[in-house]
Amino acid sequence: MSSVYKTTNMTIRQYISTFFKGLAMGIVNVIPVSSGTVSLIIGVFERFINAIKSLNLKAFKLLFKGEFSEFAKKTDFKFLMTLIIGIMAGMILTAISLKAIFKKYEAYAYAFFIGLIVASVIYVFGMIGKKTPKMYFLMIIAVVISFFLSIKSNPYPNDNFLYLILCGIVGSLGMIVPGISGSHLMLVMGNYELIVTQGLTQIAKLSTFGQGMMILLPFILGAVISIISVAHLLSWLMKEYRNETLSVLTGFMIGSLPVVYPWKEVLPGMYDYHFHLPPMNNELIVAILMAIIGASLVLVLSFYSKKKEKLMNRRQQRLQKKKVVL
């Protein structure tokens, strides 16, 4: 897959499509939903992982030698940079508007996220080839781990340089591991508000740009370290243990549902959510509709992604047949 991408020039339409896919990943990266899941749904997950994986010593040697064209081909650079620009734009735009949205429509927003996650679970579960007892066992273990991580939080922000690097290492996992929410991990570590609602919004203004970068630079450093190192491991797992990996990722998604349950309140302590039954009024009806809209969005995206994948596979098969004939 990666070799096909690296030797193919991107058209203007592909640049625009990749940017908006990055935009979608950036938007969900700021909310308690896994952007890795979204990248899987919209069909850029494996290409994103392969592009990051290609950022190795051989690639950087080409860069230092001034062989920029070869570096771009080897690393799928055009795709990667377009996607990253989209991700950053999505994160900044969402961070600016998120506070107002949640203040007015918190229950509806979370209901929408529930729809996204449930439909994503169905989609990723369907990607598992042979569903053996081993796969279900791995899924259950992942559900339990994810559930207990989901109901734990630490409300105390910490702007220590090394701790912000650690936050980048942990928080960026949501970008490359479907089912894991980087934003929720930030909530657990107590730095969600510092990084998202403070850091990201500050760099959007010239007067506070420097203050925002003081927060975000160590976070970005940690994210780069994490993404490059974990991408290699995840690429290997998807190749050698695809069904097992997808089973674990499905479990993580199921276990993360408490994070986006709309009717809860935060209480002090390690396991700090107190859950309520939904109110039997118009709020519940609207919330159900929002969940249906969220689920429908994922199903439409997955249908489009599968259709596109089939077309790509047919194209590759035709190319292979031509090579055999030649």
pLDDT at 237: 82
Higher pLDDT, 288 or 192: 288
DSSP 152: B
Burial level of 217, CB count in 10 A (0-12/13-18/19+)? middle
* pLDDT single digits (tens) 147-203: 887 776 555 678 899 999 999 988 887 777 766 677 767 866 778 878 887 888 888
Q: Give the pLDDT confidence score for residue 312 in this predicted structure.
A: 66
pLDDT in tens, 46-71: 888 888 888 888 888 888 888 888 88
**Is residue 168 within 8 Å of residue 225, measured between CB atoms?**
yes
What does the mean pLDDT of the chain come to? 82
Count: domains in the chain: 1
323 falls in which pLDDT band (50, 70, 90)? low
Average pLDDT of the segment spanning 78-85 = 93
Once rounded to an integer, what is the mean pLDDT over residues 246-267?
82
CA dist 22 and 28 (Å) reads 10
In whole angstroms, how far apart are CA 314 and each of 78, 319, 320? 24, 9, 10
- Could you please report the per-residue DSSP string of 17-44? HHHHHHHHHHHHHHTTS-HHHHHHHTT-
What's the rounded Cα separation, in Å, for the pair 208 and 163?
22
Tens digits of residue pLDDT in 201-226: 888 888 889 999 999 999 999 998 88
- Say what the alpha-carbon torsion angle 63, 84, 232, 133 is, to the nearest 10 degrees: -160
- In the chain, what percentage of residues exceed pLDDT 90? 21
Position 264 scores a pLDDT of 81
Asked whether the predicted pLDDT for residue 119 surpasses 50, the reply is: yes
227 pLDDT band, cuts 50/70/90, is confident
Residue 253: the pLDDT is 81
Tell me the angle at which helices 77-127 and 45-53 cross, rounded to the nearest 10 degrees.
130
pLDDT tens for each residue of 24-44? 889 888 876 678 777 877 878
In the chain, what percentage of residues exceed pLDDT 70?
87
**Residue 292 confidence (pLDDT):** 95
What is the Cα–Cα distance from 193 to 189, expressed in whole angstroms? Answer: 11
- pLDDT (0 to 100) of residue 138: 95
pLDDT of residue 109: 83
Would you say 71 and 62 are in contact if contact means Cβ atoms under 8 Å apart? yes
Distance CA 292, CA 272 (A): 28
How many Å apart are CA 77 and CA 95, to the nearest integer? 27
What gap in Å lies between CA 123 and CA 75, rounded to an integer? Answer: 29
pLDDT given for residue 3 in this prediction = 43
Q: What does the block give as tokens for 210?
A: 């420097």
Residues 121, 144: Cα–Cα separation, whole Å: 15
Q: Cα separation of 49 and 30, whole Å?
A: 20
Q: What are phi and psi of 180, to 5 degrees?
A: -100, 130
Better-scored residue on pLDDT, 175 or 244: 244
d(CA 81, CA 290): 33
Cβ neighbours, 10 Å, residue 148: 13
Contact (Cβ atoms closer than 8 angstroms) between residue 42 and residue 21: yes
Query: Who wins on pLDDT, 166 or 310?
Result: 166
Domain around 122: 2-325
Say how far apart CA 76 and CA 51 lie, in whole Å.
Answer: 6
